[in-house]
Amino acid sequence: MEKISGSQAIIRCLQEEGVKIIFGFPGGAVIDLFDALMDSDITNVLVRHEQGAVHAADGLARVTGEVGVALLTSGPGATNGVTAIATAYMDSIPMVILTGQVPTALIGNDAFQEVDIVGITRPCTKHNYLVKDAKDLVPTLREAFHIARTGRPGPVLVDLPKDIVAKMIDFPEKKPIRMQNYQPTYEPHPGQIEKACKQIIKAKNPVLYVGGGVILSNANEELTELARKLNIPVTMTLMGLGGFPGSDPLSMGMLGMHGSYTANMAVAHSDLLIAVGARFDDRVTGRLDAFAPHATIIHIDIDPTSISKNVKVDIPIVADCKHALIAMNTWFNTASDFNREQVAASHEPWRATIDEWTKKHPMSYLDEGEIIKPQYVIQKLDELTHGNAIITTEVGQNQMWAAQFYKFNKPRQWATSGGLGTMGYGLPAAIGAKMAFPEKTVIDVAGDGSIQMNIQELATAKQYKCPVKVAILNNNYLGMVRQWQELFYNKRYAGTIMEVTPDFVLLAQAYGAVGLRATKKSEVEAVIKEALATDNTVIMDFAIAREECVFPMVPAGKATTEMLLV
Amino acid sequence: MKHTISVLLQNKPGVLSRVTGLFSGRGFNIESLSVAETLEPTISCLTLVTRGDEAIIEQITKQLHKLIDVIKVTDISDSEYVEREMVLIRVKAEAQTRAEVLRVIDIFRGKVVDVSPKSYAVEVTGSASKVQAIIDLLKPIGIQEIVRTGTIAMARASKK
């Protein structure tokens, strides 16, 4: 067999894994890999900062379900990627990050652009590797993809010393991967499924609490079937949005710190909480001992460490969400000793109580005439894109308003940094999403603070003719922290006032993009329409009510029923 | 409660730091840790002693198991087990205390492994509590240096 270089073998591996686009930034240690990429059909997207490369690959992974791939150089290239790797890790996004490394002979010598990236990323990757022998290149890469996409997905980093990728090697044949020490549990235990189903039949006030696991395992249809069949109200975490149609009458929207009044009240009064692919994060539970205090808890998760980590679970089901939900649906379809219609009908009083809560405190905001309310902007975006856009966000108020007021009816149309809360995520993630689906509308909902964290990626968007739209909810504040300062720190706005903010319209033009601005409510619709009709990267700068707060809000450490309302 | 956990893991560079990083990163505590290769040179056995309530120990075992390089995790203290630790102690042994030191060592079935005019180096093996007991007895005489291996442990075979 003809020998090929290590870098050619790596590129062939990527093709074998179905990779079509990779995001990267070159440097001395990865010139060989960039060189080999030139001869392949893989699109190599040159970003402007390595954090952008990894976020873009992450955005692509979230909207497609495929493994996102980023290629960074050694040293600062790799460390610049760390925040984005941690972002993907916290949200369980399947990714492979390739980093260059100094030649093996120099490792440990404090060589130029050397850093122990395997050591640095150990706690923020699902797994990582330093390849020290050229014959391990291909098997390691295959294992990396396998680990990234199976079980609870996550980023896997492979560190590639320059001399190793330059070696000539045989390309080994592909064999099924068997790892003695890594065998995620996909199939649920039938006994646990039966226990859970029987508990569901008994429940009077059940709630489905749906997290990102439902999106990751593509279980939205199975979940929707279960909820509708048994008439069970559904609430979603930030990561779970789109896992169940947001416009469905059974949807109570998001729960937790900025969740709906309805969802938080329903969880607090439920007698059965069915957690599916969610992890009882502190932003969801608030004060732990007051979270779902009357409920029996069923928890489906593929990661055993998520179960009983924060909240004691009564019926744990370690399994892939999709497999578990199929098993539950099958049980309900075939079990003979209960009447499905009767069970569904028995939840009507509970539904009525829930509707009362929604009537009392719907998701709302105060209209103030011509002052632009950020919630209104999101509602208009939803309306004018018919709820079909892919929405990415930065982090802070912009993210919460987008989560609250855009109705996500499908999975994988929502990409936001949930666990880590990384400002600067939205724009590169939008580019990744748009590269994957050029025909779809992709909008980054941003704040004037966070957009500046990776604003340089406008150049990437332009270079690859990637007409993403950025909607900046501009209040000249770091709004979420300002909100906390308003509510809990006597309005002492320490470090949250953006005294200098660039003119985003001019900034867009400087990059060759289009900049639009609205300062009055009556201008919002026209700006959005023009942006959507423009075949170019567009920044929409909305001058919003400066001191608007995100409500409802559960103050940190309080019970989720202790909400501050509009 | 004290728990002794035995972990089989791939004998590869960096694996130990994955384990210790997990403990420091998640705020778990390690009382002692000992690791060496098994009969199979590609696999190492790590014994660690930790403390925590039931929920913490459950998290520790699950989190350990989640590490890709970890093959098997057993909480040995769930069943009958034997544990051993070895200690090397350099204890002051001058004319008036030499005989006393030897007596104590003898009671604990220890061995003198190094002798100097003013000190003995002693090797003692036993359970952690036995090791602690001899340390406590020799302390008033004057311990100059001490090195402990940390506990290793093995579940007892089924008696049936």
CB B76: neighbour CB atoms within 10 A?
Answer: 20
Please say if the pLDDT value at position B158 is more than 90.
Answer: no
DSSP character string of A105-174: GGTTTT-TT---HHHHHGGGSSEEEE--SGGGHHHHHHHHHHHHHSSS--EEEEEEEHHHHHSEE--PPP
A210 in the Ramachandran plot: left (φ > 0), alpha (ψ -120 to 50) or beta? beta
Q: Do A181 and B71 touch (CB under 8 A)?
A: yes
DSSP character string of A439-484: TS-EEEEEETTGGGGSTTHHHHHHHTT---EEEEEE-SB-HHHHHH
The mean pLDDT of B15-22, rounded to a whole number, is 96
Type of residue found at A520? K
Chain A residues with CB-CB distance to B63 below 8 A? 305
Phi, psi of B97 (to 5 degrees): -110, -10
In the sheet with A234-236, reading across from the earlier edge strand, the strands are A251-254, A234-236, A206-210, A272-276, A296-301, A315-318
For residue A481, give both structure tokens: 């922290």
Q: How far off is chain A from B113, nearest CA to CA, in Å?
A: 38
Q: Which are the contacts of A410, defined by CB distance < 8 A and separation ≥ 6?
A: A220, A242, A245
Q: How far off is chain A from B61, nearest CA to CA, in Å?
A: 9
* Burial profile A376-407: b = 16 or more Cβ within 10 angstroms, e = fewer: bbbbbbbebbebebbbbbbbbbbbbbbbbbbb
Phi, psi of A172 (to 5 degrees): -70, 150
- The answer, for B65 touching chain A at a CB cutoff of 8 Å, is yes
Residue A93: per-residue pLDDT: 98
What is the pairing mode between strands B32-37 and B81-92? unpaired
In 3-state terms chain B splits into helix, strand, coil percentages (rounded to 5) of 30, 40, 30
Q: Which residue of B has its CA nearest to A144?
A: B68
Please say if the pLDDT value at position B159 is more than 90.
Answer: no
Give the nearest partner residue to B71 out of A123, A180, A305, using CB atoms.
Answer: A180
Please say if the pLDDT value at position B160 is more than 80.
Answer: no
ipTM confidence = 0.91
For residue A116, give both structure tokens: 């122990």
For the stretch B92-103, pLDDT in tens is 999 999 999 999
Residue A405: per-residue pLDDT: 98
Q: Do A305 and B63 touch (CB under 8 A)?
A: yes
DSSP character string of B29-89: --SEEEEEE-SSTTEEEEEEEEE--HHHHHHHHHHHHHSTTEEEEEEGGGS-EEEEEEEEE
Pairwise CA distance, residues B87 & A286, whole Å: 48
Residue A192: per-residue pLDDT: 98
Report in angstroms the alpha-carbon separations of A211 from A234, A274, A555.
Answer: 11, 11, 21
Residue A99: per-residue pLDDT: 98
Q: Do A180 and B18 touch (CB under 8 A)?
A: no
For the stretch B88-140, pLDDT in tens is 999 999 999 999 999 999 999 999 999 999 999 999 999 999 999 999 999 99
Residue A561: per-residue pLDDT: 94
For the stretch B50-78, pLDDT in tens is 999 999 999 999 999 999 999 999 999 98
For residue A472, give both structure tokens: 């900046």
Tokens 């379809």 locate to: A333
Q: Which are the contacts of A246, defined by CB distance < 8 A and separation ≥ 6?
A: A253, A387, A406, A407, A408, A409
What percent of chain A clears pLDDT 90, i.e. is strictly above it?
98
pLDDT digit string (tens) for chain A, length 566 residues = 789 999 999 999 999 999 999 999 999 999 999 999 999 999 999 999 999 999 999 999 999 999 999 999 999 999 999 999 999 999 999 999 999 999 999 999 999 999 999 999 999 999 999 999 999 999 999 999 999 999 999 999 999 999 999 999 999 999 999 998 899 999 999 999 999 999 999 999 999 999 999 999 999 999 999 999 999 999 999 999 999 999 999 999 999 999 999 999 999 999 999 999 999 999 999 999 999 999 999 999 999 999 999 999 999 999 999 999 999 999 999 987 888 899 999 999 999 999 999 999 999 999 999 999 999 999 999 999 999 999 999 999 999 999 999 999 999 999 999 999 999 999 999 999 999 999 999 999 999 999 999 999 999 999 999 999 999 999 999 999 999 999 999 999 999 999 999 999 999 999 999 999 999 999 999 999 999 999 999 999 999 999 999 999 999 999 999 999 98
Residues shown for chain B = 160
pTM check: above 0.90: yes
Residue A180: per-residue pLDDT: 85
CB A291: neighbour CB atoms within 10 A?
Answer: 24
- The answer, for A310 touching chain B at a CB cutoff of 8 Å, is no
Contact (CB, 8 A) for A20 and A60: no
Distance between alpha carbon A411 and the CA centroid of its chain, in Å?
11
Q: Which residue of A has its CA nearest to B9?
A: A181
Chain B residues with CB-CB distance to A305 below 8 A? 59, 62-63, 66
Bridge partners of A560, per DSSP, are none
- The answer, for A466 touching chain B at a CB cutoff of 8 Å, is no
Contact (CB, 8 A) for A223 and A325: yes
Chain A residues with CB-CB distance to B71 below 8 A? 180-181
To the nearest 10 degrees (0 to 180), the angle between helices B15-25 and B54-66 is: 150
Residue A235: per-residue pLDDT: 98
Tell me how many degrees the CA angle A544-A550-A554 measures, rounded to the nearest 5: 170
